[in-house]
Structures are given as structure tokens and as C-alpha cells.
Structure 1
Amino acid sequence: MRPATVVGLLVLLLGIQPITTDLYLPALPMLQRELGAGMPATQLTLSALIIAFGLAQLVAGPLADRHGRRPVLLVGLAAYALASLGAALSPSIEALVAWRVLQGVAMAASVTGARSILRDLYEPREGAQVMSRAMGGLGVIALLSPLAGGLIAQHAGWHAALAVLAAFGAATLAAVALCYVETVPRRDPCATRLAPLARNWAIVLAHPGFRAWAGLSALAYGGLFVVLAGSSFVYIEVLGVSRIGYGALMAGNGLAYVVGTVVCRRWLVRHGLRATVRRGAWFSLAGGLGMALLALGGLAGVAGLFACQCLFALGHGVHQPCGQAGAVGPFPEKAGTAASLSGFLMMLSAFGVGLWMGTALDGTVRPLAYGLGVFGCAIALVAWTLVQRDGEPAARPAPAGGAVSP
């Protein structure tokens, strides 16, 4: 495959995650009213998706190591398109949550496959540069999704917003079927056997570099999920922004993320992985802590919140390419397993945020602002300590032996 083809496929495979979460955000308050759902049940349409996504990655990664990336991607994307159609036709909140769970399971194949392909083809530093290019395209999807979702929800309702996901899944399925050439270096017939799988998990989790990079990614995504789970209610219900206006704000947030990926690429060439993350942590800290201080001082208007949110998004554009490439870097023979564990930790962080948001949203800006403040501080702490100490992928090779035999 040509490099441009690889980047294009990564954009689609990774982009399935933000479009699934972001496109219907402007429709959440409308969905809640039309289905007569409470706040916890409405938040469950996000948090159930995320925990299913996280758990399924633990299976999707080893399956891709055993059978190859291509069959897992094709089955997963077909299931995603079907689940998205079911979600669009849901008559109740319970049915919608069930279809969102299936969406999350199917989405795991796409995202885990993309991270595994990255390690199949590139070494960690080069992989981070390629991932930052792909995440620039992913950022465009994140930029357009809430804006398109606001327009669709305003004029056609929340069912139509969810129907777009089925079309995106079908298009991605076609792209993989037509363009993707298998990249797995060597299929591991033992990858899905319980005892070898447990030993592989233990090897990956014991690696200090993995813990540093996976921890950074988990915290960065947890902070992002604070915005995903809480911003529509804060901006629309508390601050009186229209659905289309909210979509425009989230599009601006996506643009800041794209800028962050561009900054990441430039810093990687000049400074390397660890120094890039060390610099990016200032964006995360300034955005999160700034929003918390605005809320604490009673100064949290739309402009101030949005400015801090964009600073945090800049940092996210730096941390995610580096974190995801760094987490799989030490494990060329177990890329699927490492990618699945990293992804599971990210989704576990997001699931916790979703459960908390379901009870914490109180008609004020405080849950959004304080939540982002906590994550901004935690990201900076990990970026300046664990990543600097253990985050050079080549410094600590994984234990010898490649795939574990039974």
C-alpha cells in the first residue's frame, strides 16, 4: 500500500470513534425529551457504548493477531453498519442503548485494527508522525461531526443524525475491502488462547513504557470525554446556545485539535517523543485549570469556557498520536494485544467519566469545568514524570520471545 493509502485508511478506521460519539451530541437534549429518558439513561447511550468498546478491544486485538487484520476489520465494520441502522430506528431509550452497545463492540475492531496496522508498518517515532497525520484527518471528522450533527438534528431530528453513522460504516467497509492489503507480520495461532493471552497481557502491562504511554492516553481521552458527555447540556441547557451554535463551537474545538496534530508533527521532528509530550502538557494544564478557575470565580461564560476547551484540545492533538504510538512501540509481535489493552484503559477512563457525569450534571457549568481541571492536572503530572522516565520506546525492549507459546 502507498503511504497515502495507509493514512487514508487510518483516518477512516480511527474516525469511526469521534463520528460515533460527536455526531449526535447536539441531539442529546432532544433525544432525552422525545424518548422521555432521565439524565442517567441518556448518559448511558454514551457510557454503554464506551465500556462495550473498551471491553471488546481486549478480544479484537488478539483476534487480529491470530487471524490477521483484514477479516476482523471486515466483520467488525459490517456489524457496525448494521448496529448504526438499528440505533437510528430505535423506538425507546432501552433499544437505543442496546444498539449502542453493539456499535461499541463493532467499533473496537476498527480502532484496534488501525493501531495494529500502524505498528505493523512503522517504528515508534515514525509511527507517531504517521499517526499525527492520520489524526489530522480524524480531527477534520471531529470538526465536522458536531456541526453536521447540529444541522441534521435541527432540521431532521436525532434519528437522521444516527442514520449518518450507518452510511459512514458502509463507506469504511468498502474502503477496507477494496484498498487494504494484509499487514500482520506473522499470525500468532496462540493469541486467543486463554493462558498465553493472559501471559501476553502480563508482559505488556509489566512494561514501564507501556504504562507511561497508555496512562497518558487514558487521561487525555478521559478529559476529552468530560467535554463529550457534559458540553451539550452545559452550552445548550445552561448557557442558552442553539444546537447549531453548539455544533459550531464543537467544530472550533475540532479545529484546535487539528492544529495540535500539526504542532505534534513539527515537534516530533525537532524534539522526539518525550519532549513533544512535555511541551504539549502545558496546553492541557492551561485549558483544564483555566476552565476550573473560571467556574470557581463565577466567570464561566461561553467565550471563556470555549477558549479553555480549545487549549485542552490542542494538548489532546499532541498527546494522542504520541500516546498511541508509544504504547504499541515496544511490542512489534504483540501489537494487537498492546493496542487493545491501551484502548481498554482509555475507554475505562471514559466510562468512569460518563457514570460520574450522569449524576454530577446539576444545571451549572461546574461539573464540566472541574472535571476538565482534574484531568488537565493529571495529564501534566504523567507527561512530566512517567513519560520522561520510561517513555522512550527503544530504551526498554519488551521481554524476548515474541508471541507466547502455550
Structure 2
Amino acid sequence: MPASPSTALHPGLAIVLLALLLSIQPVTTDLYLPALPALTRDLAAPVAAAQLSLSGLLLAFGGTQLLWGPLSDRYGRRPILLAGLAAYCAASVACVAAPSMAWLIAWRVVQGAAMGAVVMTGRAIVRDLYLPLAGARAMSKALTGLGVVACLSPLLGALLTEWLGWRAALAALGVYALMTLGLIARYLPETLLQRNPRALQPAVLVRTWAQVLRHPTFWAFSLLTTASYGGLFTFLAASSFVFIDVLGLTRTQYGAALLSNAFAYLLGTLLCRRLLLRVGLRRTVAIGGLLSLCGGGLVAIVALLGWHQAWALLAPFYLFMLGHGIHQPCGQTGAVGPFPQAAGVASACNGCITMLVAFGIGRWVGAHLDGSVWPLVQGIGVSAVALAVIAWTLVPRFGEPQAA
């Protein structure tokens, strides 16, 4: 049941628009990854600097959400969303024209800040429109759309880099954002029915942050999404160098490998919807934890056995991506579920925590890439164990999103 049935937005259109908004994150990372080795060579930059173009983007993405959240609670979702998409388009143009890695990193940081406004607002809109359990199902539908976009992005990025160069791949990010901006401006009404005029007052903001950060349900689901994204981001940060430079895949073959991972994630979101209807939220997350642990454990076993081939590492990682397709819709909606009047702040805190951890992972990966598969394997394994612990302990205990 929608939480705000008076909002004039068709349910099917709402899912499509949410999918477009949330998909800007995999477009920004997955379409960019096949171009990363090429732009690193072209700009004569070290690998660590290239990793900073990705981890810096995610640090800005996470940190700025702490500002975008209360702004959207004060002024509404629509103006923040339109401003974020417009800024993203401008930053994309600047990235295409970047003359050096330093300029590219700077504009990617701006792009990440703008992406923070878009994704944070999208998650808050889910809480505006739906009650928590219905929101998890709606989010899984939107993330199925994200899965389709994520399937297409790496292959498109690889083909554009192969045919037209890495700047063409970055230009595609701006085209996507411009198309999304037009659709949002035309079709998405304001979903926040009651703005909070005091949301930006320092004392109110501190109380709201404290209310969110003290809530055990918020932490259970935020740690779930953080651990899940941590495993995925380890793959994103390391895989282009491991699969192309170490294991010898072409850029097109690497794009196809990312496509197959995104397809596994898409299947995970479909599985999530079926499990939510049959066994409920907490048992769904527990099943996702089992898939994550099996996937990360098998990746480690394959590496220990010396099977350092692309297919051998990819096959078990599909299980991790199935689990990721369960954890993200459940975790993102569960984290904001207790806060119907402060969904922007809760969404922002969740996103900030996730991206701060991702930034740390990106810096660790950049420092430990050594021409082997082990940084990739170790990061995925740690995330898989953490996911299982969270899914089997914290979520069963604190997983009912009661209002704060």
C-alpha cells in the first residue's frame, strides 16, 4: 500500500522513474570501468591516481548526502533532484574535456556530489510513497530496472572505449543524465507532502541525526547495505586491472564479464521479490546472507587452488551478486523505514556510511594492487563473512522497522 496515496503519480511510472534515478550510480561506475586502464595510460597517470578518480567520486557521493538529505526534507525532493541532475550533466561535460588526471579527479568529485543528490532523493521518494514492506518490494522492482541498466553499461563502455576512445565513454554519462533530467522535469511531481521548515536549523538537524543514528534498525540495515556494497566495490575497483592486465581479457570481454555480473544482480532482485512475499523480510535477508557467504567463500577456494582464470573467479561471484540483489532493496528501505518524517536524513546517513567505507576500500585496493588476483579475492571474502554475520544476527534482532 502506498504511504501517500494522494500523490499524483502512476505506480508503474513511479517504478520507471525510480529505476532511472537509482541507475545513475551503476552508470557512473560500470560504464566508466572499461575505460579506466585506457585513460590511465593516455593521461600518463599512476594506477593509484586512477583509483582516486573512482574512490574520490564515491567519497563525494557519500559525504554530500548529509547536506542533500536535510535540504530535501526542507525544500522538497523535486528541486534537489533537478539541481543534482543539472550539475551532473555539467560535470560530465567537464570530465570529457579534462586535460589531465588531476582535472578528471576534480570533476569526478563534482559528479559524485551531484550523484549524491540524485540517489539520496530517489531512496527518500520510496519512503514518501510506500510503507516499509511495500517499499522493499517497490525498491526491488526499481533495482531490477537498475540491473538492466547495469547489464548494458559495462558493455557499452567497453565498445565506446574500443571504437571512439575513453572520452566517448564519459560523454555517455552526460547523455544518460540529460535524458533522465528531461523525464523527471516532465513527469515527477513533488512526493514530499509535508515539508519540514525547521529541517536545516542546527539544533533540529543534530536531534534528527541523533535520532537516526541511535536507532538499531537503521544500523542493522545500513551495515547490511554497506557490507554488500563493499564486496561489489572491491570488484569494481580491482577487476578492470585484474581481468584486463593480469588475466588478459580484452576490454570487450571485460565488459561482457561485468554484464554477466549485472545479470546475476538482476536475478537477485527478482528472487528478492518472490522471497519477500513468501517468507518475509528477515528470512529473505538470511537467505541472501547464505548466498553471499557461499559466493565469497568459493571465490577464495578457487584462488587458493590456483585456478586464476577469469571464468573460475566469475562463476562463484555470481552467488555474491544474487545476494547483493537481495540485500540492497531490503537494506535501503529498512534503513529509512522508521523515519517517515526524516527520510531524507536517514537516506543520507545510510548513503554516507556506505560510501565512506567504499572510499576506504578503494584506497586499500589502489595501494595493494600487485599484479595478482589476491586484493580482489581478499576484499570479497571479508565482505561475504561480514554480510553473513549481519544477516544472521543484527537483522533478525532489529529488523522490524518500527517508527522512531
TM range (shorter): over 0.9
1:208 equivalenced with 2:216 (yes/no): yes
Alignment-derived partner of residue 355 in structure 2: 347
How many Å apart are 1:283 and its aligned residue?
1.2
The equivalent of 1:402 in structure 2 is: none
Other structure's SS at 2:64 match: helix
Match of 1:288 among 279, 293, 296: 296
Counting only pairs closer than 5 Å after superposition, residues 234-245 of structure 1 correspond to structure 2 as 234-245=242-253
- Write the distance in 1 (CA, Å) between the matches of 2:82 and 2:287: 38
Structure-2 separation of matches of 1:209 and 1:91: 46
Does the residue aligned with 2:189 lie in a helix, a strand or coil?
coil
CA distance in 2 between counterparts of 1:61 and 1:87 reads 26
The aligned counterpart of 2:372 is 364
Is residue 321 of structure 1 aligned with residue 323 of structure 2?
A: no
Give the aligned partner of residue 4 of structure 2: none
> 2:76 corresponds to which residue?
68
- Residue 262 (structure 1) aligns with: 270
In the alignment, the residues of structure 1 paired with residue 59 and residue 145 of structure 2 have an alpha-carbon distance, to the nearest angstrom, of 25
1:184 paired residue number: 192
Aligned to 2:25: 17
Counterparts of 1:193 and 1:307, CA distance in 2: 50
Structure 2 equivalent of residue 131 of structure 1: 139
Matched, 1:29 2:37: yes
Q: For residue 349 of structure 2, what is the amino acid of its counterpart?
A: L
- In the TM superposition, residue 297 of structure 1 has moved relative to its aligned partner by 2.5
The residue type equivalent to 1:272 in the other structure is: G
- C-alpha contact (below 8 Å) 1:60/1:108 kept by paired residues: yes
User: In the alignment, is the contact (CA less than 8 A) between 1:49 and 1:104 conserved in 2?
Assistant: yes
Aligned-pair distance for 1:100? 0.2
Q: 1:300: how far off?
A: 2.7
Counterpart in the other structure of 1:51: 59
Whichever residue aligns with residue 376 of structure 2, its letter is L
Residue identity in the other structure for 1:348: L
Q: Does 1:225 align with 2:217?
A: no
* More displaced stretch, 189-198 vs 316-325: 189-198
Task: State yes or no: 1:106 paired with 2:106.
Answer: no
Q: What's 2:159 paired with?
A: 151
Partner residue in 1 for 2:395? 387
Matched residue, 1:2? 10
Aligned to 1:118: 126
- Cα deviation for residue 322 of structure 1 reads 0.1
Partners of 2:168 and 2:262 lie apart in 1 by: 22
Deviation digits for residues 366-402 of structure 1, max 9, x if unmatched? 10011101100100100000001001113xx30xxxx
Equivalent-residue separation in structure 2 for 1:300 and 1:139 (angstroms)? 27
Quote the Cα distance in structure 1 between the aligned partners of 2:357 and 2:61: 12
Q: Which residue in the other structure is 1:404 paired with?
A: none
Aligned to 2:285: 277
* Aligned residue type for 1:251: L
Match of 1:307 among 315, 326, 338: 315
Instruction: Tell me if structure 2 keeps the 8 A contact 1:300–1:365.
Output: yes
Structure 2 letter corresponding to 1:212: A
User: Take 2:385 and 2:324, find their aligned partners in 1: how far apart are those partners?
Assistant: 13
Partner of 2:97: 89
Does structure 2 retain, via aligned residues, the 8 Å contact 1:223–1:375? Answer: yes
Structure 1 residue aligned with 2:85? 77
Deviations 1:301-354 (A, max 9, x none): 211101122111111000000000100000000000000000001101110110
* Equivalent-residue separation in structure 1 for 2:119 and 2:138 (angstroms): 15
Equivalent residue number for residue 3 of structure 2: none
AA partner of residue 173 (structure 2): L
Structure-1 separation of matches of 2:226 and 2:297: 18
Structure-1 separation of matches of 2:130 and 2:239: 36
Residue in 2 that maps onto 1:160: 168
Q: Over aligned residue pairs, what C-alpha RMSD do you find?
A: 0.7
Residue of structure 1 in register with 2:344 after alignment: 336
Deviation of the 1:289 alpha carbon: 1.4
Instruction: Give the % identical residues.
Output: 54
How far residue 253 of structure 1 moved from its aligned partner, in angstroms, is 0.3
Q: How far 1:189 sits from its partner (Å)?
A: 1.2
* 2:38 aligned with 1:38: no
Q: Deviation string for 1:201-245 (max 9, x for gaps)?
A: 110010000000011001111111001100111100000000000
The count of aligned residue pairs is: 396
User: CA shift at 1:296, angstroms?
Assistant: 2.2
Structure 2 distance, partners of 1:111, 1:21, is 14
Task: Give the superposition deviation at 1:177.
Answer: 0.4
Q: Give the deviation of 1:44 after TM superposition.
A: 0.4
Equivalent AA in structure 1 for residue 276 of structure 2: L
Aligned with residue 202 of structure 2, among 187, 194, 209: 194
C-alpha contact 1:221 1:349 (8 A) present in aligned 2:
no
Which stretches of structure 1, 4 residues or longer, exceed 2 Å deviation after superposition?
A: none
